[in-house]
């Protein structure tokens, strides 16, 4: 099984087979419009513009599971992201990434993308450790998504190549993307 085996719902409600992205490097990210990490949309858009012609696709999945930081419906979220951050990469329907309502794609990502801890060099790590520990006391020992803006890089064969937590510097994400391009 790989990422191409999944179908997801687009922002407009239509079904999209991830097989449509065969041969591309994918950056899959769960996002939120009211999060401290929301300004990462600027860097994600810059990365997309720089590498989309080389075979990068960024797939944006809004999620309201962490601090209810993605309020609004799909259209409101899309309007905010295109208006405020000018995103042009594909945005999908709002989803759950954890729990019984998690979409199958995210269940697979969790199974195949190991949580290796938060970036200890980032001052936000200590704060996020405390917040996440309240929600999941065993968070260090499982692969559940911990917060908004967790990123998975998928190689051109459809396999998870890397997982990056929200506070990881985007230059590290970009380096991995460019290695695979």
pLDDT digits (tens, 9 = 90+) for 137-155: 999 999 999 999 999 999 9
Residue 89 pLDDT grade (very low, low, confident, very high; cuts 50, 70, 90): very high
Query: 162: closest CA among 174, 147, 176?
Result: 176
Sign of the CA dihedral 102, 12, 30, 174?
positive
The region of weakest confidence among 122-131, 144-153, 167-176 is 122-131
- Nearest CA among 61, 44, 67 for reference residue 168: 44
Rounded distance, CA 42 to CA 8, Å? 24
Name all domains of the chain by residue range, CATH numbers in brackets: 3-180 (3.40.30.10)
β-pair partners for 18: none
- For the segment 9-27, what is each residue's pLDDT rounded down to a tens digit? 999 999 999 999 999 999 9
Q: Please indicate, yes or no, whether the overall pTM of this predicted structure exceeds 0.85.
A: yes
Number of continuous H segments (helices) and E segments (strands) in the chain? 5, 6
pLDDT score recorded for residue 95: 98
Q: How far apart are CA 113 and CA 159, in angstroms?
A: 10
DSSP 139: G
26-80 pLDDT per residue, tens = 999 999 999 999 999 999 999 999 999 999 999 999 999 999 999 999 999 999 9
Can you name the residues that pair with 59 across neighbouring β-strands?
28
Please tell me which residue in 8, 32, 35, 87 is annotated as part of the active site. Answer: 35
pLDDT of residue 34: 94
User: Per-residue DSSP letters for 16-59?
Assistant: EEGGGGTTSEEEEEEE-TTSTTTTHHHHHHHHHHHHGGGTEEEE
Please say if 35 is a catalytic residue. yes
Reported as a pLDDT band with limits 50, 70 and 90, residue 180 is: very high
């Amino acid at each position: 099984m790989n990422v191409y085996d999944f179908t997801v719902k687009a922002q407009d409600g239509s079904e999209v087979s991830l097989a449509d992205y065969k041969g591309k490097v994918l950056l899959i990210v769960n996002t939120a419009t009211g999060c401290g990490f929301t300004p990462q949309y600027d860097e994600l858009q810059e990365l997309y513009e720089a590498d989309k012609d080389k075979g990068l696709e960024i797939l944006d999945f809004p999620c309201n599971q962490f601090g209810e930081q993605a309020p609004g419906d799909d259209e409101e979220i899309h309007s905010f992201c295109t208006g405020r951050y000018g995103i042009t990469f594909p945005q999908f329907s709002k989803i759950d990434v954890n729990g019984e309502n998690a979409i199958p794609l995210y269940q697979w990502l969790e199974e195949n993308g190991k949580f290796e801890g938060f970036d200890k060099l980032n001052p936000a790590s200590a704060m996020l450790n405390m917040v996440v520990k309240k929600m999941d006391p065993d968070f260090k020992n499982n692969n559940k998504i911990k917060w908004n803006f967790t990123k998975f890089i998928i190689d051109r064969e459809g396999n998870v190549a890397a997982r990056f937590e929200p506070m990881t510097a985007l230059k590290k994400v970009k380096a991995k993307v460019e290695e695979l391009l």
